[in-house]
Chains A and B, each alone.
Chain A
Amino acid sequence: MSAWTDLVTASLLGTEKGAGATLMPTTLENALGPVDELSTEARFLTRAGALALWRQAGRRPVRGEMVTHPPAPVESLPLIGPTSVAHLRAMLDGHCVDALPEWLEAVARLGKRVPPEHLPALLEWARQNRARRPLAASAGGERVRWLAARNPAWNFAADDSPEHWETGGREQRVGILRHWRATDLAQARERLAAAWKTESADLRQAFLGVVVETLGEADDAFLETILDDRSKEVRTRAAELLRRLPKSAFAARMTARAVPLLTFQPGGLLRRPTLEVQLPAEPDAPGKRDGLDPRAFGLYHKEFGDRAIGLIQILAATPLTHWTDTFGQPPDVLLKALGKQEFAPAAATGWALAAILQKDPLWASALLDGPVQPASSFLAFGGLFAALSESAQIEKLRAAARDGTIGLDPSRSNAAAALFVQFASARRELPPELSRAMLACLRRIADESPDGQWPPRLDGLATALALKMPPVLLPEALAGWSADKPRPTRMIPLLDFRREALAALTQP
């Protein structure tokens, strides 16, 4: 349509640059009627307006190739109800979003699914944190896998059927490996070993992260080969996994290194039992291959020195049952037998690392209450506590709630409060008696609060409690607060929201 193009060119230059009369289609010119009384500019624009309108009214959809999507599989699960959709939207908008993981789990458990139009927001939420990913993927029916395959950012939730093993994205392949490890361990090992050499170091690390979830003695042989991997990070990670396998060849080698280091003298009538500690030599080549490295703990090695670090590493990788079996003594006796010798703390630290990794409640308990303290900077916070038996953990937390350890004094309270949060986060639901003890503790803190303010420091604890206590306890959570005292602001609404949202899901 050249009349329009001419007009556009003329308009760019300006009518003063001699843009002449534009040739218009006659029918259009006639339809315009007389325009002579208008100024040159107005006449020009009137014609432009006519053509513009003509173009607009005649505008038609274009034709051509378009990249569309294959049809999504038919859904078999019913959608959640409108009230639940409102709950989901509230959470995705940031209201009580902490309750979303539990809610998604319930959606999947009840065999329902989230309506497709909310899946993009859900996948965006899931993308930010790996722990959220399987939750989002399991609550979206067939559509969520279909949708995730359309957008590379979401491929963590894409179809984990095996045909994508060789072609899929990082998260997709991690998902497929996880699926195999859950259903057919032998096949999973075979496929992983076959693909291993050609994968990137990042992906090899990610695969080991999946293996550790379902680690078993049968992984020994494969992990042993990884000790010779090209990447140092991957080698270190493999050694870390092997330390969890007490029957492995790796454990046997470590035990052999450990045996000469500790010498036990049983006690007698006038003699206390003693356990003499010797430091190992610098690691030889096979030792280095097994991950022995004085720099493994970074800056913290200064606390002990290179050879003591070697002691810690060897003890950390030796099965704890070796000591109790060989010396015929329980852990508390062995700890006591270390006495006050220089390297007693290093030995206790090695044992503590072993107790955490091997989840040995007896050793954990002895180390927590024992006469020799392991160096805390070498241990993850709460590690030994988490290795205790569940009943022991609950008992300790209840005691901390009861005796005022958790309270207004930060120096006494912070660590215990953090242990509670850790305990709660690792569980689906808190036992009722612990929930009640913690509620009583919070009410007492509110009553004791000197300035009428709820200490924000304890908000995390209150939130963890609201998230994991049984929702049926809501009436108890509501009762007993003094009217003129502060209370944790988010706790009750969160608990109430959970109760309502979970109940709404079970309604047809």
Chain B
Amino acid sequence: MEMLTAPQVLALAPDPASVKAGQSLASPAEWSALGRDGRSVWGECQGSALYRTQADLTGPAFHCSCPSRKFPCKHGLGLLLVLANHPARVPETATPDWVAEWIKRRDAGAEKKAARPMDAVPADPLAAARQEAEKSKRSARREDRVQAGLAELQTWLGDLIRQGLARAKDQPARFYDAMAARLVDAQAPGLARRLRGWPGLLASGEHWADRVLEEAGLVQWLLNGAARLDALPDGLRAGVRAAVGWTMTEQEVLADPRAERCTDRWQIVGRRIEEEEKLRVQRTWLVGERSQRAALCLDFAAGNQPLDVSLLPGTAMEAELVFYPSAAPLRALVGTRQKPEPSGEPAACADFEAAADQTAGWLAGDPWLERAPWLVRGCVPGEHGGRWCLRDATGGIVPLARRLGSPWPLVAACGGAPATVFGECDGHALLPLSVFAEGRFIHLEDGTP
């Protein structure tokens, strides 16, 4: 049975309030009739009434008789925390009926799902043709809508640059948000997200015009690319489509013959969870031990949905990764995988110069890459020009991203000695996500539990 650690359990919480509530139920004393079998764990908790809580650890999936609409509810979190922290207090016993029934229902549901193929082709050839035609009509409608949105963006961008960035700086944030909203309607969420970043760039202080012009140029490139999509080579086309915001479902990626596959022992070297438009986005970075490749796994959770907790920083696993088609493939899905184990120190670039070279290579394939993974050994934190920076073994200096809440955990972990640092580089600054110091992997908390 796969047992989650306490941090993994807390990562399932839909919000910070749930973390606290779950922790308040993390003591075995709060529970009665605790038990587990090879697959599930259960217990009873006295709240306003006696609630029966159960979890299927293969999911993990939860079920609770409490009226909470949060998922998982605090009882579910508490139950798994009890199991994580006090396994001896959860005895292996016979499965009670109320648990067995729920598991049976779950299995029946899963079978039904499996029996229903993704795109069932009707037996009747006429109906099949009709379905196929309907499908291509749907996607043609979407293409039209995106192209209309891009045309509108081109006009908007043209006006903006004709009147000058000095005037653009005076526009209120809602001016950019309105354009972003129209791009969302036009089903170009990737571009919409970039547009929402503009007010921040305009207000970014010294050299703001450089940053805004860089971004405007890259958006123009995206428009150019989208206008002649058919003429582009496969990888670049995929890159343009991804940056505009045509999403591929996991099934599409897995079924795509052009998608690259790479089997390796993957080390999970960093993770960051960010909020984006009511969505929690989890970015997990992996590095292949044999291939030295970097990969990024994204997971999204809306509202109360839990994020995937199976990729725990500081562990490594044999797995096949399937990369999204791109001329500079980084984003990937985890295909078949084996049990994670603690990982050692990953092989890293010797200095920032080498990491910058690697980034240039990715940019050549994907000009819209926003954050490149940097894994560099021999880094020391310190201050340069009034700003926190990292210095590599050759004396190269890179500033730390201002988004890093506090540099102190990194400073404390390094203890004045060179360490291997992993982080995301946005071209200007590095956001450290983890450190390997004194033989330990240290995940720098991102504040989001």
Are the CB atoms of A62 and B397 closer together than 8 Å? yes
- Interface pair B29/A70, CB less than 8 Å apart: no
CB of A457 closer than 8 Å to a CB of B: no
Chain A contacts for B356, CB-based, 8 A:
59-61
> Cβ of A95: which chain B residues have Cβ within 8 Å of it?
20, 23-24, 26
The answer to whether residues A57 and B416 also contact, given A12-B165, A41-B158, A492-B27 and a CB cut-off of 8 A, is no
Instruction: Bits for A223-261, please: 1 = Cβ < 8 Å to B, else 0.
Output: 000000000000000000000000000000000000000
> Would A49 and B384 be within 8 Å (CB), given that A14-B164, A42-B158, A72-B416 are in contact?
no
A57 to B217, Cβ gap below 8 A? no
Closest beta carbon of chain A to B401's beta carbon, Å? 15
Residues 78 to 133 of chain A near chain B (Cβ within 8 Å): 82-83, 86, 89-90, 93-95, 115-121
Q: Choose from A70, A120, A146 the contact partner of B409 (Cβ within 8 Å).
A: A120
Cβ distance B304 to chain A, nearest Cβ, rounded Å: 20
Question: What CA separation (Å) do A58 and B361 show in the bound complex?
Answer: 11
Report if A53 contacts B (CB, 8 A): yes
Q: Is B80 on the interface with A (CB-CB < 8 A)?
A: no
Report which residue of A13, A59, A71, A117 has the largest number of chain B beta carbons within 10 angstroms of its beta carbon: A117
Query: Does A482 lie at the interface of the complex (its beta carbon under 8 Å from any beta carbon of B)?
Result: no
Contacts of B413 in A (CB 8 A): 116-117
Q: Quick check: B382 and A39 within 8 Å, CB to CB? A: no
Residue of A nearest to B210 (CB): A8
Say yes or no for A478: interface residue by CB 8 A criterion.
yes
Given known contacts A120-B409, A146-B416, A147-B411, A56 and B214 CB-to-CB distance under 8 angstroms: yes
In the assembled complex, which residues on chain B have CB atoms less than 8 Å from the CB atom of A12? 164-166, 209
Bound state CA distance, A50 and B30, in angstroms?
Answer: 62
Q: Mark B305-332, 1 if CB is under 8 A from A, else 0.
A: 0000000000000000000000000000
- The interface residues of chain B lying within 8 Å CB-to-CB of A64 are 384-385, 397
With CB as the reference atom, state the residue of chain A lying closest to B397.
A62
A327, chain B: closest CB distance, angstroms = 57
Say if the beta carbon of A446 comes within 8 Å of chain B: no
B108 within 8 A of A: no
A60 lies within 8 A of B396 (CB): yes
Distance from B411 Cβ to chain A, minimum over Cβ atoms (Å): 7
Q: Are A42 and B220 in contact (CB under 8 A)?
A: yes
In the assembled complex, how far is the CB of residue A341 from the closest CB belonging to chain B, in whole angstroms? 58
Contact between A146 and B29 (Cβ–Cβ < 8 Å)?
Answer: no
**8 Å CB contacts to A: which residues of B335-361?**
351-353, 356, 359-360
Interchain CB contact under 8 A, B86 and A500: yes
In the bound complex, CA of A53 to CA of B392 (Å): 24
A16 to chain B, nearest CB (A): 5
Q: Does B162 contact A (CB under 8 A)?
A: yes
State which size class the interface on B falls in.
35 or more
Query: Are A45 and B384 neighbours in the complex by a CB distance under 8 Å?
Result: no
B392 touches A61 (CB 8 A): yes
Docked CA distance A68–B408 (Å): 13
Bound together, the chains give a CA A240 to CA B6 distance in angstroms of 51
CA of A115 to CA of B30, assembled, Å: 30
A270 at the interface (CB under 8 A from B): no
Per-position 1/0 for B200-242, Cβ under 8 A of A: 0000000001101111111111011000000000000000000
Chain A neighbourhood of B363, CB < 8 A: 53, 56-57
Given the interface pairs A48-B213, A50-B217, A52-B218, the reply to whether A120 lies near B396 with Cβ below 8 Å is no
Pair A15/B214 contact, Cβ less than 8 Å: no
Alpha-carbon gap, A478 to B214, bound state (A): 65
Residue-wise, chain B 155-185 has the 8 Å CB interface mask toward A (1 for contact) of 0011101111111000000000000000000
A492 with B29: CB separation less than 8 A: yes
Within 8 A of A (CB), among B371-388: 380-385
Residue in contact with B397 in the complex, picked from A46, A63, A497, CB distance below 8 Å: A63
Task: Enumerate 16 A-B pairs (CB-CB under 8 Å) in ascending A order.
Answer: A12-B164, A13-B164, A42-B157, A52-B218, A53-B363, A57-B360, A64-B384, A66-B389, A66-B391, A66-B397, A69-B380, A72-B416, A94-B20, A115-B442, A117-B413, A492-B30
Which A-B residue pairs are the 5 nearest by beta carbons?
A14-B164, A49-B217, A61-B396, A48-B217, A45-B220
- The interface of chain B, by Cβ under 8 A from chain A, is 5-7, 19-20, 23-24, 26-30, 85-86, 154, 157-159, 161-167, 209-210, 212-221, 223-224, 351-353, 356, 359-360, 363-364, 367, 380-385, 389, 391-392, 395-398, 406, 408-413, 415-417, 427, 435, 437, 440, 442, 444, 449
Interface residues of A (CB under 8 A from B): 4, 7-8, 11-17, 38-42, 44-53, 55-72, 82-83, 86, 89-90, 93-95, 115-121, 143, 146-147, 150-151, 474, 478, 492-493, 495-497, 500
Known contacts A45-B219, A49-B216, A147-B412, then 19 further A-B pairs from the complex at CB < 8 Å, ordered by chain A residue: A11-B164, A11-B216, A12-B209, A41-B162, A45-B220, A46-B217, A48-B217, A51-B217, A56-B363, A60-B352, A62-B396, A63-B396, A66-B397, A67-B384, A69-B380, A86-B7, A90-B23, A93-B23, A95-B23
